[in-house]
Amino acid sequence: MSEGVLHWRVRREFLILKIVATLVLAAVTVLTLGDLRGAFLAGAATVVAAVLALRDVLAPVRLSADGEGLVVVKGFAGSERLPWSMIERVRVDTQTRFTSRTELLEIDTGEGIFLLSRFDLGAPCQEVADQLRSLRRGF
């Protein structure tokens, strides 16, 4: 992409963590082959970790923005181009439950909502929302 394009991506550290977790879980699966239930659970966890790591490899950039609009990850590793005219609202949805606080960047097109976490973006959601609003006003 050209200059003036902002990108938000999964942090490399999280990708490495998912790959290491996949390898460790695969080793646990092999080591627990004598226990059928344990091997099944470890094998299932291995598959989940591998799928999550694969998504980060195939689609590391979750959100891009420029003067024309946004490109947002959609589905497993696809993407969708959203012109600014389609975007009705960009906001941060904050939920608190017990001692846990979750923030999601919400991109509302009227027909659908795209939700991205700080783990998807590699940056705080409020910071990304502010940058998107600033970029949108600038064009």
Provide the residue-wise pLDDT of the chain in tens; the chain has 139 residues. 456 899 999 999 999 999 999 999 999 999 999 999 999 999 999 999 999 999 999 999 999 999 999 999 999 999 999 999 999 999 999 999 999 999 999 999 999 999 999 999 999 999 999 999 998 876 5
> Residue 108: which residues within 8 A CB-CB, separation 6 or more?
87, 88, 89, 90, 91
The pLDDT assigned to 85 comes to: 94
The pLDDT assigned to 68 comes to: 92
The pLDDT assigned to 1 comes to: 44
Q: Which amino acid is present at 97? A: R
The pLDDT assigned to 139 comes to: 53
How many angstroms separate the CA atoms of 11 and 91, rounded? 22
The pLDDT assigned to 31 comes to: 96
The pLDDT assigned to 136 comes to: 85
Tokens representing residue 100 in the block: 């846990």
